[in-house]
Chain A
């Protein structure tokens, strides 16, 4: 077999190349030929095909994602914005926090354990690559119907994979969600988020600069896992005799990643690193082209020097391999020895594979011959951009017209009681502790709040008590009814959840999960959701710092509900002032903050009781969200409330049940005059929370709400061991606990 060198490619312009099998469109292949002025070598073709894929190039989403930059609110908090491995936010006292949410949807359906595990691994490497110590992870999950047999395969595997990897890394898992819906049956969503902390001066970027600086690969050896398309290239074009079908899902080694974290942080601490990039999708192709493209010069790489665990790999496969737990650092020559020493201390394999050059080309050599000679920007940043056609689907009007108002409502207290028990026992509304108890939430000794609190909270400075909070939310049902407002409701809920724990929302990361961009209806959902999110972030003053787009979550014609998952990061001056959800003190007064309207379309009640989805989602009022957040933060800081819980899916009654069970205390609730008990309990109007106020603080608290113009309605008192809605029904906490806590283990244990 002849090595397809640059020289050979120039001499054989008419060779057939498997561009279609690698996923390139004809015009994209021709564009590559035009850029290079010749046909690409096999290695170049592999690089372009994977870097120009939807996953790496954002070619369908780019034109819409621009809005996050164009509509970015004025803020001093953002230290690094969109485009780097993860955004970085100033949280005060010289500390900076980096965070991001990503998807690992498709691999997790194919192989739930490894797919989910490597999802954690990937997002954590993004955090390390910014110079930060990872301090927590969160995992928003969306699964098919809970009672579907395949969900029993996917969910337990995903949960074990997240736990198996994250627990072994020593990262507390502090939040996330688990939602079941038949629309995710063939396309479960496994999103993973991580937070890291550093000092301002420690921020690092993926940038190769300084001619003569060395490029060091360190971490796991490169194997044949996850090479997907490259194996097609290797087997069909070059050598039909070798086995080509290797696993497309990578296998994770969390122990290796833990060593990678410690050794990287030690190298950062000694200021040995000029630029750094993790190896994720598209492996060495991506890392070298991005480092070179972001830097000032070119790069020369000796592919023979990459440590392999399978010596039969072809150069194309080495370039494409997605073996996990690998990083690439750019280091000044004088510091290389010390860098390698630190790697050796941690038993991490490290090898110089190339250097930064004066030129502007990325050149890769194999056995002394040049097999890649490209302008790295054309690979990494100048891929195709599509303005895909989009159109509001014809069925949207009919869907929105099918309002929940027509659904039969409970007629009396007995029926209300029955529906409350049914609601809190539904897999979506039930306790997820069977899942979260498989995750370590104590490690590192800084966890202040973890699931099922409204947001996870981590102390980052022992001296001052400075902490950060993170919540992730998304409601695919609302987004299906109205993608623009659905995305804003996800943002509003996440923002509210952060504020409910007493933290001030600062910035946003998102994971945008949608169907196929080639379907104009899906593309419309996508465009609308981004427009809604960008407008919402602008209004709330919380910039989008980065995130991830996952498209093609679709089986045949059936796309998932459009599911923008929004993570909001907040900061709290002193974690001692945090507000938990638990009602812990008998006699405290319960207030609902905000306005409750008759808004049941798309609600958990409509789903659980009537299996119905139609109408318009609850009204969005972001100014109200901001006011509510300010009140919740002030009340936390000044000790006016002892508990707070946001009202979202399942409405007031869901929040009451959760807060009562968490604190082991009941509540006596009086439906306010003139209000409908059903609407009061089940409506999902946005911009609301329930709070528990010590009697001594009542006047101060209600005065503050009054002065600021936030409606605060007294609805009851923490009391006894039942949830008692006067004149309607009463349920013993023990019955509620059984209903709420037995469902998930009943299905999956």
Chain B
């Protein structure tokens, strides 16, 4: 059997088609979802892709968080539905409080697009089981508001519980605390990160590697074995 992975399009979402392609390349079925619908069309997992939903006006992710579809996503995520938020999707997830912390503008105050090295710090989440613990991967990064921040207690908790899922290596591109590139919830079904795994799924395209494919094969493995 295969798995159905929903990809939500908000107004201003940019990487929805790229994410659908990554899902397909991993061997799963990509199901487009629309922000105005409440129905998740019986998908087995959901990706909130990157972009500038609502132009990042007000605050990145702040408006999308109130989309009708997010009501259902929040409810089902709490019941265990695997959810991945990439870049703007990560920002939306922090706005919903499915994930703790927030993203501020990059410390150098500029948009940054680069090929980024990451370490997988938690290979037990729904979206990382196909990686090795401690594996180093190359995944593109591109954002304006990517500086992860949280209060000290939250940070200590994330670190103690192994919930820092990815850390920046070599260069911290935006001033994120503890070099945090991505985190997971305690249950391991909700994961968010700033870099873009969907842009590292084909040789020769984008950064030219396939290190990002693991996110999508992880969820497939998780769902098919479940």
Neighbouring B residues of A346 by C-beta, 8 Å: 11
Interface residue from A164, A253, A256, A442 paired with B196 (Cβ < 8 Å) = A442
Neighbouring B residues of A258 by C-beta, 8 Å: 11-12, 14, 52, 55
Judge whether A445 and B206 touch: CB under 8 Å.
yes
Judge whether B112 and A575 touch: CB under 8 Å.
no
Q: Encode A228-268 as 1/0 by CB contact (under 8 A) with B.
A: 00000000000000000000000001111011000000000
Is A160 in the interface zone, CB < 8 Å from B? yes
Is B95 in the interface zone, CB < 8 Å from A? no
Can you identify 26 A-B contacts, CB atoms within 8 angstroms? A160-B110, A163-B110, A163-B111, A164-B111, A167-B142, A169-B14, A255-B12, A255-B55, A255-B57, A258-B14, A345-B36, A437-B112, A437-B113, A437-B114, A440-B142, A442-B113, A442-B199, A443-B199, A444-B17, A445-B18, A445-B21, A445-B202, A445-B206, A448-B205, A459-B205, A578-B204
Q: Encode B11-50 as 1/0 by CB contact (under 8 A) with A.
A: 1101101100110000000000000100000000000000
Is A347 in the interface zone, CB < 8 Å from B? yes
Neighbouring B residues of A462 by C-beta, 8 Å: 21
Is A441 in the interface zone, CB < 8 Å from B? yes
| B interface secondary structure, majority | loop
Neighbouring B residues of A413 by C-beta, 8 Å: none
Interface size class of A (residues with CB under 8 A): 35 or more
Q: Encode A317-347 as 1/0 by CB contact (under 8 A) with B.
A: 0000000000000000000000000000111
Smallest distance from the beta carbon of B67 to chain A beta carbons, Å?
A: 12
Is B207 in the interface zone, CB < 8 Å from A? yes
Distance A437 CA – B110 CA, assembled complex (angstroms):
9
Smallest distance from the beta carbon of B101 to chain A beta carbons, Å?
A: 23
Judge whether B52 and A167 touch: CB under 8 Å.
yes
Neighbouring B residues of A444 by C-beta, 8 Å: 14, 17-18
Q: Encode B182-223 as 1/0 by CB contact (under 8 A) with A.
A: 000000000000001011011011110000000000000000
Distance A242 CA – B14 CA, assembled complex (angstroms):
42
Smallest distance from the beta carbon of B155 to chain A beta carbons, Å?
A: 28
If A167-B52, A441-B113 touch, does A447 touch B206 (CB 8 Å cutoff)? yes
Interface size on B, residues (CB 8 A): 33
Interface residues of chain A, those whose CB is within 8 Å of chain B, are 160, 163-164, 167-170, 253-256, 258-259, 345-347, 436-448, 459, 462, 575-576, 578, 749
Judge whether A445 and B111 touch: CB under 8 Å.
no
Q: For A433, give the chain B residue with the smallest CB separation.
A: B114
Known: A256-B55, A259-B11, A443-B15. 18 other contacts (CB 8 A): A167-B144, A169-B14, A170-B14, A255-B12, A255-B52, A437-B112, A437-B113, A438-B111, A442-B113, A442-B140, A442-B142, A444-B14, A445-B15, A445-B17, A445-B18, A445-B201, A445-B202, A749-B108
Smallest distance from the beta carbon of A502 to chain B beta carbons, Å?
A: 12
Q: For A256, give the chain B residue with the smallest CB separation.
A: B55
Q: For B21, give the chain A residue with the smallest CB separation.
A: A445
Distance A459 CA – B56 CA, assembled complex (angstroms):
28
Smallest distance from the beta carbon of B199 to chain A beta carbons, Å?
A: 4
Interface residue from B52, B110, B196 paired with A254 (Cβ < 8 Å) = B52
Distance A447 CA – B17 CA, assembled complex (angstroms):
14
Interface residues of chain B, those whose CB is within 8 Å of chain A, are 11-12, 14-15, 17-18, 21-22, 36, 51-52, 54-57, 108, 110-114, 140, 142, 144, 196, 198-199, 201-202, 204-207
Neighbouring A residues of B52 by C-beta, 8 Å: 167-168, 170, 254-255, 258
Q: For A159, give the chain B residue with the smallest CB separation.
A: B110
Distance A459 CA – B17 CA, assembled complex (angstroms):
14
A-B CB proximity, top 5 nearest: A255-B55, A170-B14, A445-B18, A442-B199, A168-B52
Smallest distance from the beta carbon of B9 to chain A beta carbons, Å?
A: 9
Distance A253 CA – B12 CA, assembled complex (angstroms):
12
Distance A437 CA – B202 CA, assembled complex (angstroms):
21
Judge whether A442 and B112 touch: CB under 8 Å.
no
Smallest distance from the beta carbon of A370 to chain B beta carbons, Å?
A: 39
Judge whether B205 and A438 touch: CB under 8 Å.
no
Distance A462 CA – B114 CA, assembled complex (angstroms):
24
Distance A99 CA – B112 CA, assembled complex (angstroms):
27
Interface residue from B17, B55, B111 paired with A253 (Cβ < 8 Å) = B55
Neighbouring A residues of B18 by C-beta, 8 Å: 443-445
Smallest distance from the beta carbon of B26 to chain A beta carbons, Å?
A: 14
Neighbouring B residues of A345 by C-beta, 8 Å: 36
Smallest distance from the beta carbon of A232 to chain B beta carbons, Å?
A: 33
Distance A253 CA – B52 CA, assembled complex (angstroms):
12
Smallest distance from the beta carbon of B5 to chain A beta carbons, Å?
A: 16
Neighbouring B residues of A445 by C-beta, 8 Å: 15, 17-18, 21-22, 198-199, 201-202, 205-206
Smallest distance from the beta carbon of B87 to chain A beta carbons, Å?
A: 10
Judge whether A167 and B204 touch: CB under 8 Å.
no
Q: For A439, give the chain B residue with the smallest CB separation.
A: B113
If A168-B56, A170-B15 touch, does A438 touch B204 (CB 8 Å cutoff)? no
Neighbouring B residues of A439 by C-beta, 8 Å: 111, 113
